[in-house]
Amino acid sequence: MDYLVKCYLDQFHTSPRNTLHDRRNRRVMVTYISTLIEACIRGMNYDPETAVRDAIIAIIRYHEENRVNNGSVCMMGRFHNILYVAMKLCYDWQLKDTGTVVTLLENIHACEGTFERIFIGAIFGNKAPYYIAGWKSDFDNQEENLRAVVYFVDHATTGGLEFDGKEGKVVRFIDVPIDSCGDLSTPATIALQLGLPDKLHIFLRYGALIDDHLVEYILKRLMEFCHVYPYNIVACLQLVLRVTSMIKCDRNTLLENYKELIEDGIIPLSRWGFQVPELKHLSRCCIRKCLWENYQLPNGIYTFSLPDSLKKYLDIMED
C-alpha cells in the first residue's frame, strides 16, 4: 500500500502549485487513493485498517519530506493541501488508529496554527468557508462536517493532543482559536455568540473551556429582549450553567444589572450565589474536571458503574 501511494504521489509532484486548492481535485485524489485501498483489501488480503493507515502515513511522509527539503518551512499549496486529502480519507474510512490521526492533526497545526478548515463548515454551514476563507469544505454538507468534527475531537482527546497557545498557555484541539474569526474565537465561543446550542453542546461535552466574560456576554444579550427571551440563547446559557459550579459575579452587580433575569428565573438562585449550589451539581462539576484532566471526556463517563440517568447527567445530556 505504501509503495502504491508513493508512486502516485511522485507523479503528483510535477502538478501546478494550486492543484489541490479546488475541492474537485481533492475529491478526485480521495477517490483514486480509496480505489487503491480497496484493491489492496480485495486483491492482497490487506486488513482495511492497515491499508488506510499505510496510505495516510505515506501522505504525511510526503508532506514532511517536502517541508524538510524547503528548509523545514511548508511550501503550502498542493504540498500542504494534500493533508486534507488524508483528512477526508481518515473520516471516510473511519480510521481507528488514534496515533496516525493525531500525527495528521499535528502536521496541519504546525503549518496553519489553526483547524478552521475542520470547524468552520460545521459551525457556519458548508458554503461559509468559501466566503470566509476562500476555500470550499471537503464535506458534502454541514451535518457531515459536524460528524467529522466529533470524529477528530474524539481522537484528539483520546490521544491527549495539546498545542502551545498564546502567553505560554497550553490548548487542546477543541479550544484552538479559529483565525478567520479572531485570535480568541474558539469553536465554543463562536457557537455561544451565535446562539447555536446544538453545536455548543457537542463542544462542551468534549471539555471545551468557556471564559467567565462570555457568561456575562450572554446575560447582557438576554437583557436586550425585555422578558421575551429567545430560546436558543437561553438554551446556550443553560448548557454553560451545567458545566459551571457558580457564576463569578458580585451580588450587587447582579442585582443592579440583571434583576429581571433573577425575577424571571432564567438562572437558578443557586448558580448566582444566593443559595448553596446543589450537591449533585457540584459533584458533576468535580467529576467532569477530573475526567477532563485525564482526557476522558465524555467517553470515560460511560465506564462508570452508574445508572444511565446519572451517566446522562454527568455528560450534560440532561439536568
Predicted model pTM? 0.93
DSSP state of 274: S
Cell numbers at 16, concatenated: 501546478
First to last CA, the chain: 49
Least confident of 55-69, 151-165, 202-216, 254-268: 254-268
On the question of pLDDT at 202 being above 80, the answer is yes
Give the number of other Cβ atoms within 10 Å of residue 301's Cβ: 21
Q: How confident is the model at residue 123 (pLDDT cuts 50, 70, 90)?
A: very high
Distance CA 59, CA 2 (A): 9
Give the number of other Cβ atoms within 10 Å of residue 45's Cβ: 7
What does the pLDDT read at residue 111?
A: 93
With 0-12 / 13-18 / 19 or more C-beta atoms within 10 angstroms meaning exposed / middle / buried, residue 226 is exposed
- State the average pLDDT over residues 104-131: 90
Distance CA 266, CA 284 (A): 21
Q: What is the total residue count of the chain?
A: 319
Q: How confident is the model at residue 183 (pLDDT cuts 50, 70, 90)?
A: low
What does the pLDDT read at residue 300?
A: 96
Q: In the beta sheet, which residues pair with residue 171?
A: 163
